[in-house]
Amino acid sequence: MLKKIQRFLTILLFFAGALYLLYQGFLYMQARELMPPGMGIAGVDVSGLNREEAVSEVKAHYLAPVTVVHQEERVPINPEDVGFVIDVDGMLDKAESYKSEQEVWRGFVEFLLNRPLQATQIELRASHDRDALTEQLQMIADFLDEPARSPQFSGISDGYELGKVGFVTDVEASLPEAEAALYRPVERDVDLVIVEQEAPELTMDSLRENIERQLQNFNGVGSVFVMDLETGEEISINADMAISGLSILKIGIFLETYRVLNNPPNEYVQALLEETAVRSSNFDANLLLHVIAQQDNTYLGAELLTDSFKRLGLVNTFMAIPYDAPVVSTRPSTFTTPANSRPDLVTVPDPARQTTAEEMGTMLSMIYYCSQGGGALMAIYDGEITQQECQALIDLMVNNVEGNLIRFGVPEDVPVSHKHGWDSVTHGDAGIVLSPGRDYVLVYYLHDPVGDFLVSEYSFPIMWEMSRSIYNYFNYENPNTESPQVRAEREAAARAAAEAAAAAEAAAAAEAAAGAEETAVPESDPPPTTDDQTQGN
């Protein structure tokens, strides 16, 4: 009986063991269909997943957007948009081959002993389009970057806004980290390399752009020359174009007059200088030509003046005929210059007297530097012109308060040493502005090459505002905010009031004089009539 029980238990144990092995075999076969514990594909844990689930898991990591961080902004990039392709099937095939390398029975024994396959990692197989990624980063940079802003005029000629610090993306430096993020299953944020740009300083290029915008408002030709007398920087817009000399050429007469004088001007010459500078008298200008010629010969004075221009290198500036003088057979009526012989010349300059904005500006700069004790003028005319004479010339032209083109663009207390001039189709002004921020030369002309008459109500406001914008460039920390039109109206009203007061004073003086005459000479008694005589008798 005992043996039967033992046999039964043995059979029972055998069948139990067999059933256990069958069950474990079933579990083992199921496990072989799954990724073994510790299996990783491209850094993604796929333990216990079947092939389909493993594909989804890997793609969920690698096809998730890469987040590009631009300062405070976060922008997702779809990997597929940059040509990112991942070979999931190839990686899974390699994982499957790793599993199949182990014999079934040996694997079953290892399974029974709970000794899984050694954990392994399948390397990532993927590629991307580098150019497409670069393009995506550049698009983000273009949209989010804030490049440094150049200094700006807040209006056509009003105030001035300082430049602004900027931030721009270094796309090339950012690219490696962006590529690395594509190939990471986690931590897929990318901090772009942001470079700070310093705020640009105000430059003459900014001023030039502003002047050109203003010239677009003029339906004609503008010629502008600006020089920074501290740095020597220049702006030249059509400044080499031949233009009528106008009364602006009288600056050269002033300079030549001081040069030929060995002593300070006497009372007579000083009066001529002041009348020419302040009242723009052509008659007195011609008398100064007599001083230059050292004889009463205006034509010789004009010739010597032109020779002096050439000596200074001003080859486009001449006076062939004095002001208001006729052409004479013994003198040339004009000269050919590089400026007036250009085939593209659009101006119609006076044949008798010509210059260019650049050459008038150069002459003014020579006078200024001479007043400072140096410069080309003193080198060329060594011993013939003095620092004191150049300063006297500047002071002389400061007294010119007429022809207010440059002056109305600057504050009233800023000295402007200038000479204006115009004819029917050309309006101009040339001067040295002695401003608080920096001294500068401004010479500008507006010319109508097709019309018969240039209306001052049209040209003057443009020139006023242009002068103000140039002043505000050199004085951006303390700009002139007054409208030139307002100043023009105010000064016109003041001038009219002064003229009315002067007229009233003159009338009152005349009336007083008439009354005094009546008091001083009493009337005589009328001669007696016949009746009176009769009555007297």
Range list of H helices, 127-263: 130-144, 171-182, 204-215, 250-260
The residue with greater pLDDT, 119 or 421, is 421
User: Tens digits of per-residue pLDDT, 107-120?
Assistant: 444 545 455 555 57
Residue 178 has pLDDT above 90, yes or no: yes
Question: What confidence score (pLDDT) does residue 27 get?
Answer: 46
Q: What's the average model confidence in pLDDT over 208-235?
A: 96
The residue with greater pLDDT, 26 or 45, is 45
Is residue 462 classed exposed, middle or buried when 0-12, 13-18 and 19+ CB atoms within 10 A define those classes?
Answer: buried
Q: What's the average model confidence in pLDDT over 7-32?
A: 59
Q: What's the average model confidence in pLDDT over 409-434?
A: 97
| Rounded-to-integer distance, Cα 463 and Cα 443, Å | 11
DSSP 339-395: TTT-TT------SSEEE-HHHHHHHHHHHHHHHTT-SHHHHHTTTTS-HHHHHHHHH
Beta bridge partners of 126: 86
User: Residues of the chain with pLDDT > 90: what percent?
Assistant: 66
Task: Say which range, 35-49, 194-208, 225-239, 458-472, has the weakest mean pLDDT.
Answer: 35-49
| Rounded-to-integer distance, Cα 85 and Cα 180, Å | 14
Residue 143 has pLDDT above 70, yes or no: yes
Strand order in the sheet with 189-191: 73-77, 66-70, 189-191
| Rounded-to-integer distance, Cα 260 and Cα 293, Å | 9
Reading the block at residue 108, the tokens are: 């079953």
Is 3.40.710.10 the CATH number for 205-494? yes
Q: What's the average model confidence in pLDDT over 205-217?
A: 92
Closest to 252 in 3D by CA, of 192, 200, 322: 322
Crossing angle (nearest 10°) for helices 456-474 and 484-520: 120
| Rounded-to-integer distance, Cα 363 and Cα 383, Å | 18
Reading the block at residue 7, the tokens are: 């046999």
Question: What confidence score (pLDDT) does residue 123 get?
Answer: 87
What's the residue count for the chain?
537
Looking up tokens 């997702």, which residue turns up? 76
Closest to 400 in 3D by CA, of 291, 510, 258, 277: 277
Question: What confidence score (pLDDT) does residue 93 get?
Answer: 84
Question: What confidence score (pLDDT) does residue 111 get?
Answer: 47
Which pLDDT band holds residue 146 (cuts at 50, 70, 90)?
A: very high
Task: Say which range, 328-337, 348-357, 493-502, has the weakest mean pLDDT.
Answer: 493-502
Q: What's the average model confidence in pLDDT over 323-329?
A: 96
User: Tens digits of per-residue pLDDT, 46-74?
Assistant: 877 888 888 888 889 999 999 999 999 99
Residue 535 has pLDDT above 60, yes or no: no
CA atoms in the 13 A half-sphere facing the CB of 264: 6
The residue with greater pLDDT, 492 or 370, is 370
User: Tens digits of per-residue pLDDT, 275-287?
Assistant: 999 999 999 999 9
The residue with greater pLDDT, 463 or 3, is 463
Residue 491 has pLDDT above 60, yes or no: yes
| Rounded-to-integer distance, Cα 294 and Cα 206, Å | 48
Arithmetic mean of pLDDT over the chain: 87
Residue 271 has pLDDT above 50, yes or no: yes
Which pLDDT band holds residue 524 (cuts at 50, 70, 90)?
A: very low
Strand order in the sheet with 44-45: 44-45, 40-41, 121-122
Strand order in the sheet with 353-355: 243-244, 353-355, 318-319
Task: Say which range, 205-214, 246-255, 361-370, has the weakest mean pLDDT.
Answer: 205-214
Question: What confidence score (pLDDT) does residue 183 get?
Answer: 92
Question: What confidence score (pLDDT) does residue 115 get?
Answer: 55
Looking up tokens 């990039």, which residue turns up? 77
Residue 172 has pLDDT above 90, yes or no: yes
Question: What confidence score (pLDDT) does residue 154 get?
Answer: 66
Closest to 188 in 3D by CA, of 78, 83, 92: 78
Q: What's the average model confidence in pLDDT over 124-130?
A: 93
Domain residues of the chain, as ranges?
Answer: 20-177, 205-494
Residue 469 has pLDDT above 90, yes or no: yes
Question: What confidence score (pLDDT) does residue 252 get?
Answer: 98
Which pLDDT band holds residue 527 (cuts at 50, 70, 90)?
A: very low
Reading the block at residue 459, the tokens are: 């040209």
Question: What confidence score (pLDDT) does residue 26 get?
Answer: 47
Neighbour count for residue 415 (Cβ, 10 Å)? 18
Which pLDDT band holds residue 494 (cuts at 50, 70, 90)?
A: confident
User: What's the sign of the alpha-carbon dihedral 276, 281, 283, 286?
Assistant: positive
Looking up tokens 């062939």, which residue turns up? 320
Task: Say which range, 145-159, 414-428, 504-518, has the weakest mean pLDDT.
Answer: 145-159
User: Tens digits of per-residue pLDDT, 234-263?
Assistant: 999 999 999 999 999 999 999 999 999 999
Full-prediction pTM beyond 0.85?
Answer: no
